[in-house]
Amino acid sequence: MNTLRNKKILLASWGCKVKTSQECRDWPPIFKKIFKKVILFSTKNEFYYFGKEALNKNFLNLLQKEKPDYLLICPVFNEFEIDTLLKIKEITPNTKTIMWSGDDEFRFDDWTRYYALFFDYVLTTKKEISIYKKDKIKHAGFMIGVNPKYHRPINLKKIYDVTFIGAPLVDRYDYIKFLMKKGINIKLFGGGWYKHPYLKKIYGGFLYPDDFIKVINQSKVNLNFSKTFFKQGKLGQMKGRAIEILACNAFLLTEYTNRTIDFLVKNKEMNFRNKEELFKKIKYYLEYEKERKNLAKEGYNYVLENHSWEKLFIKYFNKIEKEKTKHYNLPEVNKKIITLSEKEINLPINKLKEKLKKIDYVNFSKSFNKKSPYKDYFQSYSLMISKKNISCCNYLIYSEYLGDYLLNLSKKSFNTLKKDDFYKILNINQLMVRKNYFLNNLKSFQKLFYGGVYNLLNDKNTVFISIPLVKIKGVGEIPYKDMKNVFNTPFFDKLFSLVHKKKIFDPYVFKLLFLSYPGKKFVFRYLSERFFDKGSWEALNFFN
C-alpha cells in the first residue's frame, strides 16, 4: 500500500456528499487511509443544483485540474454524456478508470454492458462475472461490503419482535399483511408504506441514519426481501441490507436467492421461500433465543472477515496498482446501416430489397427526430453482441422552448405496461433492426410506422438500451399512473435547479406553465402531485 500513499483518487458518484449514502459515509474515510488525496464530485448535487450540462462541464474541468491517478465513477443513469466519457482518457491518459455498478441483475443487459466499455475496470454487485466475459468486458470484479464502524452491534434492549426497513416493492405488502393476520408483532420503516392505510398502525416512518442502526439492533428478527420490480428481479437480487444486518450482529431472515453472498446462499436456517415458511421460522426463532443469537454471531464473523469495505478496497487497489495502465478502445462494429424515411419504407418490395442489398441493419426516420451521433454505434453494437433482431433505445421528448423535458424508459415500458399502452408510446425512431428480420416482417413495420399496434417486440428478439439516443416531439397518451412509472422528468429536475439558484422568474418557468406542448397535461398533474405528496417532502430531508 506504500505506493498508493503518494497517489490521489477522484470519486465521482451520486451520493459521495450525501450523508445518508454509503458513498459518503463509508468510502471517503477508507480512501483517505489508502491515498494521499481524495477528491469528491457529487453528481447528485451537481445535477440538481446546476443541471446536467453544468455537471459534465464541471466534471471535466475538475478532471483536467486534478489529473488523478485513479477515477472511480458510480453512474446512476445518463448523468454523464457519452462525449464526457470519451474525453476522460484524452484529458488524463495515465488515470486508471473504474466504474462501480450496482443492480446489475436487471441493469446489465440494457445499461452496464454499454457504459462499461468506457472504463478500464468494472466493479459490480453481481456475482455472475461470466456475463461480462461473454461480452468481452475485461477486468470485471465482484465486490459488496459494509462499514463495520457504522453498521455495528449496539447494546440495546430488543423492543421489536420483527422489523422490516425498506419500500413496498413487488409482493412485500402481501407478506407483511399475511404476517399481521397471523398475529406477528411486526414494525415497518421506510418510504411509501403510508399509502397503505391497513398498515398505518405498524408503520414507523423514515429512519435517519443513527435510528436505522438502532432499529436493527433493537429487533429480534430483521427481514430482508430479495425480489425487485423487473421480470429478472423475480429471481432475487444482491441486497446490501442483508449484509448490513449481519454486520450489526443481528438475526436475519432473508428471502432466498442464489445471487446473494455465499454465507446466506448456504445458510438454510436464515432463508425463506414463501409466506408459510417465513411465518414458521419467525415463530421458531422468537422462541429459541440461543439459536437465534448463535446464527447472528456466525453471520457477523463472516461479514467482518469477508465483506469489510476497508479490507476489500485495500486488497483491490493494491492489486490494480501493480498493473500497467491499459485503456481499451470501443469495440469495432463494421456493419452497414441505412435509415429509411416514410417514402422509402413504402417502396415496392423489389425496389426496397434492391436498396437494402448491401445493408446489415435498418434505422427509421419519421416526423421530427434528432439522432444522437452515437445511436448507430450503440444500436448496431447491441444487435451484434446480443444476436437479437431488434434494438430499442430510450428517447427524449423535446421542445424548442423547453429543451428535453421528458425521458422514456423503454425497457421499463416494455416490462410494466399493457401491450396496447406500450405500443402507444413506442416510437419507430427508437428502433434498429436486422435487414432480414425487417423484410420478413415488412407489413408489420409499415403499420408500426403509422402507429399500428403489433406484437413485434418480445423478450427473445429485442435488446434494450437504457440510453436516450434519439429526440422526438410527440408522445402517445396512456393513463397517468402508468406514464409516471415509465417516464423520467427532466423538466422537474430543471425546476429544482432554478429554485436552488433562486431563479424562480426564469423564462423556463413561464414556458413550462403557459406554453402549449405535447404532454403538458401530464406535466401539470405531476407537479401538483409532487407538491402535495408527503413522501416527496420526506425525501427532501435526506438530500444533504
Decide if 72 contacts 10 (C-beta within 8 A): yes
Q: Which of 290, 307, 324 is the last residue of a domain?
A: 307
Q: Are residues 364 and 257 in the same domain?
A: no
Q: Are residues 218 and 361 in the same domain?
A: no
Q: Which of 95, 119, 145 is the last residue of a domain?
A: 145
As a three-state string, the secondary structure of 400-463 is CCCEEEEEECHHHHHHHCCHHHHHHHCCHHHEEEEHHHHHHCHHHHHHHHCCCCCCCCCCCCEE
Is the alpha carbon torsion for 164, 169, 170, 176 positive or negative? positive
Domain membership flag for residue 100: yes
Q: Are strands 121-124 and 96-101 parallel, antiparallel or unpaired?
A: parallel
Domain membership flag for residue 154: no
Residue 120 identity: D
Asked if the model's pLDDT at residue 421 lies above 60, the reply is yes
CA pair distance 544, 537, nearest whole angstrom = 13
CATH code of the domain covering residue 202: 3.40.50.2000
Asked if the model's pLDDT at residue 533 lies above 70, the reply is no
Give the per-residue pLDDT at 234.
67
Segment 513-522 shows an average pLDDT of 93
Percent of the chain that is helix, strand, coil (3-state, to 5): 50, 20, 35
CA pair distance 255, 232, nearest whole angstrom = 15
| Domain assignment of residue 508, given as a range | 337-537
Q: Where does residue 219 fall: left (phi above 0), alpha (psi -120 to 50 degrees), or beta otherwise?
A: beta
Q: Are residues 114 and 168 in the same domain?
A: no
Q: What is the residue-averaged pLDDT of the chain?
A: 92
Nearest to 146 by CA among 243, 238, 30, 20: 243
Q: Assign 229 a pLDDT band (cuts: 50, 70, 90).
A: low
Q: Are residues 419 and 470 in the same domain?
A: yes
Q: Are residues 351 and 481 in the same domain?
A: yes
Segment 38-42 shows an average pLDDT of 97
Give the per-residue pLDDT at 531.
75
Bridge partners (DSSP) of residue 488 are 407
Asked if the model's pLDDT at residue 396 lies above 90, the reply is yes
Asked if the model's pLDDT at residue 504 lies above 90, the reply is no
Decide if 38 contacts 31 (C-beta within 8 A): yes
Q: Are residues 205 and 301 in the same domain?
A: yes
Segment 309-320 shows an average pLDDT of 96
CA pair distance 435, 421, nearest whole angstrom = 27
Give the per-residue pLDDT at 197.
85
Q: Are residues 177 and 251 in the same domain?
A: yes
Asked if the model's pLDDT at residue 541 lies above 60, the reply is no
Among 8-12, 245-249, 366-370, the least confident range: 366-370
Whether the full predicted model's pTM is greater than 0.85, yes or no, is: yes
Full DSSP string of 458-526: -TTTEEEEEEEEEEES------HHHHHHHEE-HHHHHHHHHHHTT-TT-HHHHHHHHS--TTHHHHHHH
Decide if 424 contacts 476 (C-beta within 8 A): yes
Structure-model confidence comparison of residues 274 and 206, the more confident one: 274
Q: Which of 95, 110, 145 is the last residue of a domain?
A: 145
Give the per-residue pLDDT at 542.
42
Q: How many domains does the chain have?
A: 3
Domain membership flag for residue 317: no
Domain membership flag for residue 318: no
Give the per-residue pLDDT at 207.
87
Q: Quote the percentage of the chain above a pLDDT of 90.
A: 78
Asked if the model's pLDDT at residue 180 lies above 50, the reply is yes
